């Protein structure tokens, strides 16, 4: 959905509520237009859905990238794609019939060269207040909350009102807060860009791996202030900006804030939620969903393409595993697909979120468990031998294919309504989901990745604490303990690997 102005329903709101919404930076006209849509059932998730199948790894549409030994592609198509990118195929590639076979090392080398034509961005519009909501974190159960409570009391004050990306991504073994999600991502990207520059021999047509972001009215100023202060951050050394792009000075676009709506239990049609924190005429300002990125970031994507960048990653700031990945870029470029999405095999604790499905027309898409497919139905598929891939909320786009379609995608993404019960009240919110764009492309590529390395989400502060490895497994239920082990192993890999940190004196630090 593109911006909407001049909605006539503003007069239906009380003057006190309008004043409060304006004071909180809410886009009133757009919020009312979306309210009309969801009250007209355009955003109703209970509507009937087509019958879905679970697609399997086929090496073409769905590629298992975990330990990928090689990737085969039609010779003529591969040579044409590389030529279009100004590159040549390695001279000693194995031939298998009409295909060329790229080994893993050849894919990584190709991907590192292609980083000179790639950008990366984060969805940076959310604050950490909801993430550190006590009621939400207590919903994991009293035993889990009791186990994470010391960490919760340490980090929760650092999250209040702050952009989530600026809050600690982990707790050190000595009990001190760790570095922020954004500092870690920027450090990892800079190290990767320097490695790519070495492979390119310093002959860079443009700065490697420029950074971009979608912020919101709730986070933009705080992020700008932080980036200015990070010019002298010891973990982010100065860079040669003619070779490597400095993520502290990237491209940015601001997402407008939307209002929350009333909960369905309070009757239909829904209204603007006006009892935030129990106060009369008090609205609740929320980002409008990551799917708005297609129109909010449209100018950024066009600018990157104009500058000669062909590819762009986008992902959630709170997923520590997300960042540029050379092997994935190489497979994507060779595939000729318009967009690629990362997915990980479902685990027993993955009971909410999107999974990869195929509709009756053979189109790949993301279906939300509990909405488009019941959890019972998904488990039945697994009992029958299917392996379900879970959405990792990471996308990689070919800008030459994406930019001409930005308006169409922004309009075509469906609205999804979800019910919330938090410290601020019981309400609903309407969002567009970035990852449902998969169904809008002709030939999307799906990459099955290692969850412990590429998907470490932190939707709740409890997950950040569990990923820090400071909660004894005996203090939580077995399924939570297993999840915590996976998260903490992934976090340690990320800190020691892509970030190049060392554990010294109970704290993760850069090498001396």
- The residue that leads in pLDDT, 508 or 12, is 508
For residue 251 the two structure tokens come to 């491209």
- % of the chain at pLDDT higher than 70: 96
d(CA 165, CA 125): 9
Q: Which two tokens stand for residue 216?
A: 């919101």
pLDDT of residue 8: 58
Average pLDDT over residues 358-366: 91
Residue 204: φ, ψ to 5°? -105, 125
Grouping H, G, I as helix, E, B as strand and the rest as coil, residue 266 is: helix
Q: What is the pLDDT of residues 458-504, one digit of tens each?
A: 889 999 999 999 999 999 999 889 889 988 999 999 999 999 999 99
Does the pLDDT at position 50 exceed 70? Answer: no
Q: Are 243 and 197 in contact (CB under 8 A)?
A: yes
- Please write the tens of the pLDDT for every residue from 149-204: 999 999 999 999 999 999 999 999 999 999 999 999 999 999 999 999 999 886 78
pLDDT at position 46 is: 43
Say if residue 130's pLDDT is above 50: yes
Domain positions in the chain are: 8-502
Q: Which residue has the tokens 């909410």?
A: 352
Report residue 294's pLDDT band, with 50, 70 and 90 as the boundaries.
Answer: very high
Q: Quickly state the pLDDT bin for 41 (edges 50, 70, 90).
A: low
Q: What is the pLDDT of residues 392-432, one digit of tens each?
A: 999 999 999 999 999 999 999 988 888 888 889 999 999 88
At residue 43 the predicted structure's pLDDT band, cuts being 50, 70 and 90, is very low
Instruction: Identify the residue whose tokens are 């870029």.
Output: 329
Reported as a pLDDT band with limits 50, 70 and 90, residue 368 is: confident
Q: How do residues 15-36 score in pLDDT, each as one tens digit?
A: 999 999 999 989 999 899 999 9
Q: Looking at residue 255, what is its pLDDT?
A: 93
Kindly state the tokens that stand for 322: 């997300």
Cβ partners under 8 Å of residue 312, min gap 6: 118, 119, 120, 121, 212, 301, 304, 396, 397, 399, 402
Phi-psi region of 102 (alpha: psi -120 to 50; beta: other; left: phi over 0): beta
- Note the Cα 56 to chain centre separation in Å: 23
Nearest Cα to Cα of residue 106 among 87, 120, 122: 87
Tell me the CA distances in angstroms from 426 to 137, 164, 290, one per residue in order: 16, 22, 22
Angle between helices 478-496 and 181-199 (to 10 degrees): 50
What is 8-502's CATH number? Answer: 3.90.550.10
pLDDT band at 44 (very low <50, low <70, confident <90, very high): very low
Neighbours of 270 (CB within 10 A): 20
- Structure confidence at residue 93 (pLDDT): 92
The stretch 254-282 carries a mean pLDDT of: 95
Residues 6+ apart with CB under 8 A from 496: 502, 503
pLDDT digits (tens, 9 = 90+) for 108-117: 999 999 999 9
Nearest to 129 by CA among 462, 424, 429: 424
**Alpha carbon of residue 131 to chain centroid:** 15
Instruction: Provide CB contacts within 8 A for 105, sequence distance 6+.
Output: none
Rounded Cα distance between 469 and 170, Å, is 9
Q: How many Å separate Cα 204 from the centre of its chain?
A: 28
Share of the chain above pLDDT 90, in %: 75
End-to-end CA distance of the chain: 50
Give the Cα separation of 127 and 424 in Å (integer): 14
In the prediction, which pLDDT does 42 show?
46
What is the C-alpha separation between 488 and 213, in angstroms, rounded? 27
Phi, psi of 430 (to 5 degrees): -115, 130
**Residue at token pair 């003529």:** 76
pLDDT given at position 45:
46
């Amino acid at each position: 959905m593109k911006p909407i102005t001049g909605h006539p329903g503003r007069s239906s709101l009380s003057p006190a509520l309008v004043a409060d919404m304006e004071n909180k930076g809410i886009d009133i006209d757009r919020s009312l237009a979306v309210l009309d849509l969801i009250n007209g059932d355009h955003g109703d998730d209970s509507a009937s859905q087509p019958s879905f199948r679970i697609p399997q790894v086929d090496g073409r549409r769905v590629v298992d990238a975990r330990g990928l030994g090689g990737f085969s592609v039609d010779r003529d198509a591969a040579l044409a794609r590389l030529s279009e990118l100004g590159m040549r195929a390695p001279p000693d590639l194995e031939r298998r019939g009409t295909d060329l076979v790229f080994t893993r090392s050849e894919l990584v080398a190709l991907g590192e060269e292609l980083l000179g034509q790639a950008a990366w961005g984060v969805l940076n519009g959310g604050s950490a207040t909801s993430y550190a909501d006590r009621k939400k974190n207590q919903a994991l159960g009293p035993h889990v909350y009791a186990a994470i409570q010391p960490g919760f009391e340490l980090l929760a004050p650092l999250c209040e009102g702050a952009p989530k990306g600026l809050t600690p991504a982990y707790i050190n073994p000595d009990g001190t807060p760790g570095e922020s999600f954004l500092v870690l991502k920027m450090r990892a990207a800079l190290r990767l860009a320097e490695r790519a520059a070495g492979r390119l021999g310093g002959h860079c047509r443009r700065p490697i791996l420029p950074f971009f972001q979608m912020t919101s009215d709730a986070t933009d100023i705080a992020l700008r202030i932080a980036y200015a202060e990070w010019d002298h951050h010891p973990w982010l050394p100065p860079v040669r900006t003619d070779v490597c792009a400095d993520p502290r000075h990237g491209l940015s676009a601001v997402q407008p804030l939307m209002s929350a709506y009333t909960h369905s239990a309070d009757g239909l049609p829904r209204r603007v939620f006006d009892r935030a924190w129990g106060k009369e005429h008090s609205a609740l300002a929320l980002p409008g969903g990551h799917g708005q990125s297609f129109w909010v970031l449209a100018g950024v994507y066009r600018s990157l393409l104009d500058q000669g960048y062909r590819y762009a990653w986008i992902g959630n700031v709170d997923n520590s595993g997300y960042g540029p990945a050379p092997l994935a870029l190489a497979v994507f470029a060779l595939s000729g697909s318009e967009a690629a999405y990362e997915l990980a095999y479902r685990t027993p604790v993955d009971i909410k979120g999107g999974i990869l499905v195929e509709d009756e027309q053979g189109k790949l898409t993301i279906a939300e468990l509990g909405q488009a497919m019941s959890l019972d139905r998904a488990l039945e598929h697994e009992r029958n031998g299917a392996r379900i891939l879970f959405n990792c909320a990471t996308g990689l786009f070919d800008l030459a294919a994406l930019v001409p379609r930005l308006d169409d995608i922004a309009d075509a993404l469906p609205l999804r309504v979800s019910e919330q019960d938090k410290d601020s009240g019981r309400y609903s919110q309407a969002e567009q989901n970035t990852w449902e764009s998969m169904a809008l492309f002709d030939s999307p590529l799906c990459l099955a990745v290692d969850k412990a390395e590429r998907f470490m989400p932190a939707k709740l502060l409890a997950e950040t604490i569990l990923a820090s490895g400071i909660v004894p497994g005996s203090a939580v239920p077995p399924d939570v303990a297993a999840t915590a082990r996976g998260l903490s192993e992934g976090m340690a890999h990320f800190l020691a690997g892509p970030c190049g940190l060392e554990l010294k004196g109970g704290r993760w630090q850069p090498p001396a």
